[in-house]
Amino acid sequence: AQSVTQLDSHVSVSEGTPVLLRCNYSSSYSPSLFWYVQHPNKGLQLLLKYTSAATLVKGINGFEAEFKKSETSFHLTKPSAHMSDAAEYFCVVSYRQGGKLIFGQGTELSVKP
């Protein structure tokens, strides 16, 4: 069975400092993994995706994530936080051909000036 766990429900950083949002997954086969972002009162937007190519994936707005099979992790990072990064972030794993994405519970990122 596939599942995804976001280890922090809330992360607070200061503007200009690094961001780390943690995600662990379980899957019986090679997963496809995604990070989505949801700004207040908005739909979700894809940040980046891993689909068994390069293990270090670069996304939009300076975010990147590294797929570590040995640790079953797919943590999201950004070197320097910006105020506009404040949002909720979802780590997602997909069922192949099943039309079903499994969402983590979300991590709310706050950015302090």
Partner 1 sequence: EAGVTQSPTHLIKTRGQQATLRCSPISGHTSVYWYQQALGLGLQFLLWYDEGEERNRGNFPPRFSGRQFPNYSSELNVNALELEDSALYLCASSIGRTLNTGELFFGEGSRLTVL
List interacting residues with partner 1 (CB under 8 A): 32, 34, 36, 41-46, 49, 51, 90, 94-106
Between 55 and 80, CB nearer to partner 1:
55
CB of 49 to partner 1, least distance (A): 6
Between 19 and 31, CB nearer to partner 1:
31
Report the C-alpha gap between 85 and 110 in whole angstroms: 8
The amino acid sitting at 96 is R
Contact assessment for residue 71 and residue 101, using Cβ atoms and an 8 Å cutoff:
no
CB of 33 to partner 1, least distance (A): 11
Between 19 and 48, CB nearer to partner 1:
48
Residues whose CB falls within 8 Å of the CB of residue 70, separated by 6 or more in sequence, listed in order: none
CB of 69 to partner 1, least distance (A): 17
Contact assessment for residue 74 and residue 91, using Cβ atoms and an 8 Å cutoff:
yes
